[in-house]
Chain A
Amino acid sequence: EAQVTQNPRYLITVTGKKLTVTCSQNMNHEYMSWYRQDPGLGLRQIYYSMNVEVTDKGDVPEGYKVSRKEKRNFPLILESPSPNQTSLYFCASKSTNSPLHFGNGTRLTVT
């Protein structure tokens, strides 16, 4: 089944404790992206990647890192999480001629 898989689905952590949210897609998509969703603000792009070893900042990249060492994986790294990063996170992927396909989301709470 074609899908984008994120893990974990739920994560509660404390300020400053490094964490990684994984994202994997099995559709051989070149493009992958991370979004955060907050009430009233909609989906905002954090980082995106056009292909392996190519990443670029979205609209809200501060406090996040990403890497794209393999085509299928695009992890999101929070080196020192803060409470303002509490949000619902979505990974998404697409090929050149397709719309975005979203993962199931990761609900992160930073206390």
Chain B
Amino acid sequence: QKEVEQNSGPLSVPEGAIASLNCTYSDRGSQSFFWYRQYSGKSPELIMFIYSNGDKEDGRFTAQLNKASQYVSLLIRDSQPSDSATYLCAVLQYNFNKFYFGSGTKLNVKP
């Protein structure tokens, strides 16, 4: 079993719609959760991080964390073609030494 699981996609949404990206993790001791965006051939760039159960909003992005279900999600409102990329979910374990990444979900936003 992988530490972090994501649906590889592609997830296709029309411009202006809400894109919902999901991630599950296996280690209940995980403390911090991150969403990175990666364009093809480029380095991952941080979009959001979340530490506590519930929702965290930043502009068009909302991260949701449910530690009981070991589930973290990212909502992108008013999706734009420029949001088309691969989204990586990352989990930092309790000893702060190891990040585990999902294999990413490819998002296509169609004009």
Contact = CB atoms under 8 A, between A and B. Distances in A.
B90 interface: yes
Contacts of B88: 42-43
A31 B8 CA distance: 29
A43 B101 contact: yes
A41 to B, nearest CB: 6
Given A40-B8, A41-B103, A99-B49, A56 B43 contact: no
B1 interface: no
Contact of B102 (A42, A48, A90): A42
Contact of A42 (B41, B97, B103): B103
Q: Is the interface of A mostly helix, strand, loop or mixed?
A: strand
A109 B46 CA distance: 27
Classify chain A's interface size.
20 to 34
B92 to A, nearest CB: 9
Contacts of B49: 99
Interface of B: 4, 8, 34, 41-46, 49, 88, 90, 96-99, 101-104
Given A56-B97, A100-B46, 6 more contacts: A40-B8, A40-B103, A48-B98, A50-B97, A101-B46, A102-B43
